[in-house]
A and B are shown apart, each in its own frame.
Chain A
Amino acid sequence: MREAALPSPALPSRISPARSRRLHAMDWGFRWLTGGLAILVLFLLVGVALSLFLRGWEAFHHFGFAFFWSDAWDPVTENFGALVPIYGTLVSSLIAMLIAVPISFGIALFISELAPEWLRQPVGSAIELLAGIPSIIFGMWGLFVFAPVLSSAEPWLNDHLGVLPGIGVLFRGPPMGIGMLTAGIILAIMVIPFISAIMRDVFLVVPAMLKESAYGLGATTWEVTRHVVLPYTRTAVVGGVFLGLGRALGETMAVTFVIGNAHDLHLSLLDAGNSIAATLANEFAEAFSPMYKSALMALGFILFIITLVVLVLAKLMLWRLGQGQGKTGL
């Protein structure tokens, strides 16, 4: 239709019909090439889930639903259950979140509201550097440096927190320095940069006008944060926390070094445990029987599904901030 508007009779086209057709074909080809590769991403994700499920099918089929709540893990008799690794994955990530969320919030608050302009960039970059350090270094640091420090603090935990009724059982155990608590703390250090970076970005989205109105009414910085910034960004903040949780659940190397690799179920956080990722990293190379391998693949599938659910929730919550922003239109 646009061609009709051009003064074509006066300017005869110098592109021959054949060339024009070729250019069109290339346009079409380029479009389909890029489109096909983009759709590949969707297939990759489906492929990951499907291949892990199929490889783990032997274990799922053989053990049935008992696989999920059996705490057995015996390669000799080929009796496998996923309870211990699932428990370890969830508990170590939970410890990590309990530590990382308040600290990340503090860091985000400092960078977005408190720090003088010249300090924001360097502090932000430094925290982000922490995110760039390869996870295996966290693991080595945890095993060689942090675990000895923690093991000298653990008798104190035994004596003071271990005597408390109820939660005391969590803090009674051998002061080895490795175990669930160590894994949780190191995971926390690893996810702090992620969560605080997202929180900072999200806080910066809050329209200045909203904040200034509150300041104009005489609110303090904390009151503005508590009553203006947080309500405005609540879902996205939770989304950022979930994104960090997704990272913690699947983190392998840092956990493998310090969780203790023991297939026992203990309530105590000081005892050695195991996580799905650590089990895979430690045992995969030694798993020669098909059922052993299949059980490990099944664990991988469970890990993938858990993180998938967490990440989808995270994305949906972060997405809603973008939507809400458009609607308020401030």
Chain B
Amino acid sequence: MNAVRNPRYLRRRFWNIFHLSMAMITTLFGLFWLVWILWTTISYGATALNLELFTGDTPAPGSIGGLRNAFVGSLLMIGMAVILGTPVGILAGTFLAEFAQGSRLAAAIRFFNDILLSAPSIVIGLFIYAVVVVPMGSFSGFAGALSLAILLLPVILRTTDEMLGMVPSTMREAALALGAPHWKMIVQVNYRAARSGILTGVLLAVARISGETAPLLFTALSNQFFSTNLDKPIANVPVVIFHFAMSPYPEWQHLAWAGALIAAMAVLALSLVSRFLIKDRSPR
């Protein structure tokens, strides 16, 4: 009775309720933006969706068309980036988890890998411009793929490192005890045990690069026409969205929204699938 009326107690209770309500309000605030942005993308994008989007190429101002060349270009570059970046990331991650655990070199590489992971993507684009585009003398899909591969690499390296680290050492010892050489143990036992984890990393990395625009501005540029030639500038969804959204033509802006919706859906689907994979793995 006395305690409830105690002003000190009331004050503590008040601040507790105040702060906890603020926490609740900020969470709603954060979700509010998510809903607003998703809603905008869906409502603007859905009205622009049609079959022409996948069959027509990017149109001249004032005429109608689709984004076929941009979709093909993006898929080509993302595929190329995965082919280039995934093996490098997995093997480098293997070194950290299997050969150099606890060493100072591994700590340094992990540290700088994390820096590379968070480095602005536009800077990576400039780097590829300086070392690939300038010597080659032209913007190219290959340069675009390379810049995406560099963005992909640290994500895969990190997940591989972490996932291999979770493989129980008894499995390693069992393989070695049977006389397997070290590399065989890694390839046939550890990779298999960590497979779904590494796959998750690859999916997350692909989700990350699918929406990347900035590095492609300096590397792949864009192309008005359908092309599968990676030696030349190639159309791709993000850069086309950027140009079309900034343009004064309503047809182009509609296409930009349609492209944005599809890009967002692809990225969200990828991250949902990878989330599902994580959950699917038995805990611990």
Partner of A223, one of B16, B186, B207: B16
**Known A27-B183, A132-B207, A300-B122: A55·B218 in contact at CB below 8 Å:** no
Task: Determine the chain B residues whose CB is within 8 A of the CB of A252 once the complex forms.
Answer: 120-122, 213-214
Question: Which of A176-184, A209-217, A264-272, A276-284 touches B?
Answer: A276-284
Interface of A toward B, CB cutoff 8 Å? 15, 23-24, 26-27, 29-31, 33-35, 37-42, 44-45, 47-48, 51-52, 54-55, 102-107, 109-111, 113-115, 123, 125-130, 132-141, 143-145, 189, 192-193, 196, 220-223, 225, 243, 246-247, 249-253, 256-257, 277, 280-281, 284-285, 297, 300, 303-304, 307-308, 311-312, 314-315
The smallest beta-carbon distance between A172 and chain B, in angstroms, is: 27
Inter-chain contact B27/A107, CB cutoff 8 Å: yes
Q: A133-B264, A220-B12, A280-B122 are in contact. Are A315 and B115 (CB under 8 A)?
A: yes
Chain B residue numbers with a CB within 8 Å of A297 are 126, 130
Once the chains bind, are B96 and A136 in contact (CB under 8 Å)? no
DSSP class of A's interface residues: helix, strand, loop or mixed? helix
* B23 CB contact (under 8 Å) in A114, A130, A193: A114
By the criterion CB–CB under 8 Å, are A304 and B88 in contact?
A: no
Answer yes or no: B229 CB below 8 A from chain A CBs. no
Does B124 contact A277, Cβ atoms closer than 8 Å? no
Q: Are A140 and B245 in contact (CB under 8 A)?
A: yes
Cβ–Cβ < 8 Å partners of A137 in chain B: 37, 41, 211, 260, 263-264
Given A27-B183, A134-B267, does the pair A300, B123 have CB atoms closer than 8 Å? yes
Is B37 in contact with A141, judged by CB distance below 8 angstroms? yes
Contact status B34-A47, CB under 8 Å: no
Q: How far is the CA of A203 from the CA of B25 in the complex (A)?
A: 19
Please tell me which stretch of B53-61, B75-83, B105-113, B193-201 contacts chain A, meaning at least 4 of its Cβ atoms lie within 8 angstroms of it.
B105-113
Instruction: Specify which of A128, A129, A144 lies most central, judged by the most chain B CB atoms within 10 Å of its CB.
Output: A129
Q: Quick one: which of B224-263 are within 8 Å of A by CB?
A: 238, 241-242, 245-246, 256-257, 260, 263
Question: What is the interface residue range for chain B against chain A?
Answer: 35 or more
User: Is B120 in contact with A250, judged by CB distance below 8 angstroms?
Assistant: yes
B91 & A141 in contact (Cβ 8 Å cutoff): no
Known: A27-B182, A52-B126, A134-B211. A103 touches B30 (CB 8 A): yes
Task: Give the contact stretch, choosing among B62-70, B150-158, B165-173.
Answer: B150-158
B22 contacts across to A, CB distance below 8 A: 106
Give the most central of A125, A128, A253, A307: most B CB within 10 Å: A253
A189 vs B88: C-alpha distance when bound (angstroms): 33
A85 CA to B251 CA, complexed, in Å: 32
Smallest CB–CB gap between B269 and chain A, Å?
10
Q: A35-B99, A106-B25, A141-B40 are in contact. Are A135 and B213 (CB under 8 A)?
A: yes
